[in-house]
Chain A
Amino acid sequence: MTSNVKVRALVIVGVILICVYGIIGLPTSKQELIDNWNKNIRLGLDLKGGSQLTLQVQLQDAFKAQADQVILRLKEALQKAGVPFADMGRNDPQSIADADKIQIDIKGVPSTQAGTFRQIVQENFSNEWILTPVNSTDYRMTMQPTAALKLKDDTLTQSIQTIDKKINALGLSETSVQKRGGSANEAEIMVQLPGVDDPAHVKQLLKTQAVLELDEVKAGPFSSREEARASTGGILPLDEKIVPTQPRGGVPSEFYIVSRTPVITGRDLRDARPQRGQMGGWETAFVVAQGDASRRFEQFTGSHIGKQLAIVLDNFVMSAPSIKGKIADNGVIEGLSSHEEAADLALNLRAGSLPAGVEVLQEWTVGPSLGSDSIKEGMAAGVAGVIAVIAVMLVYYKRSGINATLALILNAIILIAALSYFGATLTLPGIAGVILTIGMAVDSNVLIFERIREELRAGKAVVAAVDAGFKKAFLTIIDTHVTTVVSCAILFLFGTGPVQGFAVTLVIGLIANVFTAVFVSRTIFDWELGMQKKAVTLSI
C-alpha cells in the first residue's frame, strides 16, 4: 500500500467514525444504542404521528385594545382638565391587513379649547399617535407607522411566548412553536405537537383567552341586565360595569355590578393549581405574586371585610365570595365541573392571556398508527429496492460491485449522520430527497465503471484505464451534481417547509455522493490494484 492510499484510507475511516458517532453516540448498552438512535434520527410529524397547527394571530384585536386604552386615558385626562367633548370612538378593523388603519375619532371639542386639547394629546400620546384635525371641532387620531410596526411585532412575539407556555404546561415533549416565514402581514404561527392525535383540546386551550380579574362587587346579583341598570337609576357610573355569571346546567345568568378597575388581574398571579373542592367538585387555587400585587390585595381585603369580591374570568363572574378576613396572597376559583376544567384554567392562568385572538388556518393530524404504517411500508419498500440494486450491481460489475455497494452504504451513513448533526427532521419529502440521492449515487458508480470498461476495451492497461475512467466520469458527475445543487438552492430559497426539506436532504446527499463515489471508490480501486504485485487485473 502506498502512503498516498494510506492517508486517504485514514481520512475515510475518520469520516466513518465521526458519522457513526453522530448517529449512535458512544453507547455502552443495547438499550442506550436504541435510545441514541431515536434521539438523533428525528422523524417528521408525517412519519411518527402528531399534529401541526397553523395559527393566525388576529393582530387587529391588539390594535383595538390599544385604541380602547387610549380612549379611556384620554377621556380621563380631558375630564381632569375640564375639556368637554361630544363623542369619542374608534373604528373597527376586521382583518389583519386593516389592523394598522385603526383610528380614533373625537368629536365636538369646542374650538376655544383646541389649544388645551392638542396639548393634552401631545403630552400623552404623541409617541404613538398622530393627531389630525378634521374640522374646527372634530379630530382624528391615527397610529404612527413605527408604533404600529412595533405593536405588531410585540403582539406576535407575546402570542408565541404565551402559546409556548400553554403547550409546554401540557407536558408534551419536543413541541415547537415558531413564527411562520412569509410576508409580514400574515402573522402566522406554526405549532408542532408530536404524538398528539387529538388537537381539539389544544385548540380549545389556545382559543381560551383566560383573562382573570378580581373585581369589587358594587351591587347584585340581579336577574337581568335591565334590573341591574335600573338599580343605579338607569345610568351606570363611569367606573362600574355589569358582568353576568356563566349559565350552567339550565341555571340562567345572574348579573353583578362590579368596579371597572380590578383589584388584581391574572398577570398578578404567581401560580395556579387544580384541587379538590371542599364541597366536592373541582376548583383552581391561585397564589398572588409577592410585592405590589399582594400588598394591594391584602389592603383591599382588609378594608372590605363582609363585602363581596367577584372572580371574573373572560367577562363571566365565576363566583362572588364574601370576604371573611384579610387575605394576603391566595384564593380559589370555585364551581368547576371537572379535574380537566380546573387543570385547564390553572394552565391558562399560569401561561397568561393572549394579547390577541388566534384563528386556526391549517390543521394537520397524522395518527400514530398511520405514521408507523408509512414508516414500515416505506422502509420495507426502500430496503427491497436497495437490496435489488446491490444484487444487480454485484452481478453486473462482479468484484467492482462490492466497491459500489460500499460507497452506497457509506453515502447513506453520511446522509443520516449529517441530518443528525444539523438537527434536521426526516419527512416524506425528505425521503424523496434520499431516493434521488441513491439514484444519483448509483448513477455515479455506473458512470465511472462504464468509463473504465470503455477504456479497457480501447486497450488501455488496467491502472491507466481506472485513472482515465475516473477522470472522464468526474467531469460529468460534477456537472450533474452542481446543476442539482443549484436547483436545490433555489428551491430552498423560494420553497416552503416540505420543499425545503427535500432540498436540504438532497444537497447533503449529493455532497456525500461526490465524496463516496469519487474519493472513496477510487481509494478502494487504488488499494486493490496496489495489492497486486504483477500482472494487474480488475474484476469489473
Chain B
Amino acid sequence: MELFKNTNFDFLGKKWPFIILSLVVTAAGMVSLAVHHGPRYGIDFTGGANIWLRFNHEPPVDQIRKALSDKIRGEISVQQITGTQQVIVGTQIADEKELNQRRQTIEDTLLSTFGAGGGKLDLNNSSAEQLANRLREPLLTAGVALSEQDLQDLSRRIEQFRASKGGILNSLDELSQVQGVTPQILEAIRKECSLGPFTILSAEMVGPKVGAELRRQAVLATLYALGGMLVYIAFRFEWIYGAAAVIACFHDTIITIGLFSIFNKEITLTVVAALLTLVGYSMNDTIVVFDRIRENLKLLRREKLENVINISVNQTLSRTVLTSGLTLLTALSLFIFGGQVLNGFSFALVMGIIFGTYSSVFIASPILLLWQNLIERRKAGSGLRAAPAAPAREMAARKPAAR
C-alpha cells in the first residue's frame, strides 16, 4: 500500500498563507499570554500548595470554599475537574513556613468539616501506620492474637485494598474481602474507624524559592539544548540550516505555550518534559527534510533551490505523513485515554506533533529559500557582480562533497 507516489505539490509556492497563519496563531497566543500576565504556571514553578481530593459523591465545591475561607486568609482556589468527582484545592505563593501551615490547615479543615468525625479514625484518609496504632489496643482487648508484624501487614493490606478501590471505600463491609480480616477484626475496625466522604489523592507543597529556581533551570536547560542542536546542525550542514531548524522549533514551542494560555492549561514540570519531547520531535522532522535537501543539492545541480526544496519535501512526504500520523496516533490515545494526570502532558505532545510536522515544511524550508533570495538580492543590488546560479546551493553542495 502506498499513499503518496511521485507527488509534486508546490509547497513553497504556497508558503505565504501558511507563514501568515503561523504568525496569526503565534500572535493569538501572545495576546492571550499578555492578557493573562504570562503563562499559567503550576505550583511547581510559582510556589504554593495543592491538595487533590476525590469524593464519593458530587463534591460540595461551595461548601469547601466557605469552610476554607473562614480558616485561611488569602486566595484559595477550589476547582472541580470536569466530569469527575475530583477537586483540586490550591493556595498560592507564600513563604515556606506559612505554606506548610496552610497545607496542614487545609487538610485539617477538610477533615473536620467533611471527615467522619465522632473521634473515630477516618479510614479513607489514614495511613497504614495510623491504622495499626489505632487497632493495637482494641485488638488486644478483644483477645485477637496478632503479632506486631501481623498487625503491620494487616494494616498495609487494608491500605492496598483501599488503593485498589480508587482510594475511597464506601462501606466498612468491603474490608471483609481483605485477606486476614476476620469478623472479630472487622468488629474492632467498626468500633474504631469510620469512613469520610473523600480521600486525599495527592498533596503538593513547593516553596517559592524552589519554584523560581526550578523555572529558571528548566528554561535555561531548554535554551542551552536548542543552542547545542544549532551548533551540531551548523557543523553537519550549514549555519543557516541550524538557524532555520532552531527557529522552527522555537515557533512550535511558542505556539504550544500560547495554546496552553488560550485553553487556560497549567504549565507544570511534566508539561516541560512534553515541551522537550516536542522540541526533539520537531528537530527530528526538520533534519529529515534538510537531509534530503542536502542530498538533492548534490544530485540536481542545475535545479533552482526552490525546486530542490519542493522536490525534497515531496520525496519525504510519504514518510512525513506516515511517521507523524503514527506518532500522533500514540499521542492522541494518550490524550484521550491517559487520564487527568497526563492531560497537560499529552495535550502538549499532540500540539507539538502537529506543529512540528507543519513547521518543517512551511517554516524551516522557506527560511532557507528566503535567506538565499536575500543574499542574491543584496549581491545584485550592490552590483559587484551578477549572482551565480545559486550560491547557497553550490556552497551546500560542495561542503558535503568535501567531507
Contacts and interface: CB of A to CB of B under 8 A. Distances in A.
B228 A487 contact: yes
B337 A496 contact: no
Interface residues of B, number: 95
Interface stretch (A27-35, A156-164, A373-381): A373-381
Interface string B95-107: 0110010011000
B331 interface: yes
A270 B114 CA distance: 46
A370 B221 contact: no
B273 to A, nearest CB: 4
B329 A385 contact: yes
Nearest to A430: B273
Given A339-B133, A369-B201, A373-B166, A198 B126 contact: yes
A436 B285 CA distance: 12
Interface string A278-296: 0000000000000000000
A388 B315 contact: no
B136 interface: yes
Contacts of B52: 370
Interface string B260-289: 000000000110111011011101100110
A488 B229 CA distance: 10
Contacts of B87: none
A99 interface: no
A377 B232 contact: no
Contacts of B330: 382, 385-386, 388-389, 435, 438-439
Query: DSSP class of B's interface residues: helix, strand, loop or mixed?
Result: helix
Contact of A381 (B133, B167, B205, B334): B334
Given A381-B337, A382-B330, A369 B167 contact: yes
B203 A436 contact: no
B291 A475 contact: yes
Interface in A352-392: 359-370, 372-374, 377-378, 380-382, 384-386, 388-389, 392
Q: How large is the interface on A (under 10, 10 to 19, 20 to 34, 35 or more residues)?
A: 35 or more
B20 interface: no
A105 interface: no
Interface stretch (A141-149, A219-227, A446-454): A446-454
Given A487-B283, A499-B272, A377 B339 contact: yes
Nearest to B318: A450
Contacts, number: 264
A331 interface: no
Nearest to B103: A363
A536 to B, nearest CB: 21
A498 B323 contact: no
Contacts of A508: none
A182 interface: yes
B312 to A, nearest CB: 12
A479 B287 CA distance: 7
B284 A443 contact: yes
A491 B232 contact: no
B216 to A, nearest CB: 10
Given A381-B342, A487-B229, A490-B225, A363 B291 contact: no
Contacts of A382: 330, 333-334
Contact of B127 (A201, A360, A363, A364): A201
A466 interface: no
B207 A361 contact: yes
A442 interface: yes
Contact of B283 (A197, A340, A359, A483): A483
A393 B325 CA distance: 11
A54 interface: yes
B220 interface: yes
Given A487-B279, A490-B225, A389 B127 contact: no
Given A374-B339, A483-B287, A496-B218, 13 more contacts: A198-B126, A198-B129, A368-B159, A368-B163, A369-B54, A381-B346, A384-B333, A388-B329, A436-B277, A446-B319, A472-B295, A487-B279, A499-B217
18 contacts: A49-B163, A198-B129, A359-B97, A362-B210, A365-B200, A365-B202, A368-B167, A369-B163, A386-B330, A389-B329, A392-B329, A432-B345, A476-B291, A480-B284, A483-B283, A490-B228, A498-B270, A499-B221
Interface of B: 1-2, 5, 52, 54, 96-97, 100, 103-104, 126-127, 129-130, 133, 136, 152, 159-160, 162-168, 199-207, 209-210, 213-214, 217-218, 220-222, 224-229, 231-233, 236, 269-270, 272-274, 276-277, 279-281, 283-284, 287-288, 291-292, 295, 315-316, 318-319, 322-323, 325-327, 329-334, 336-339, 341-342, 345-346, 349
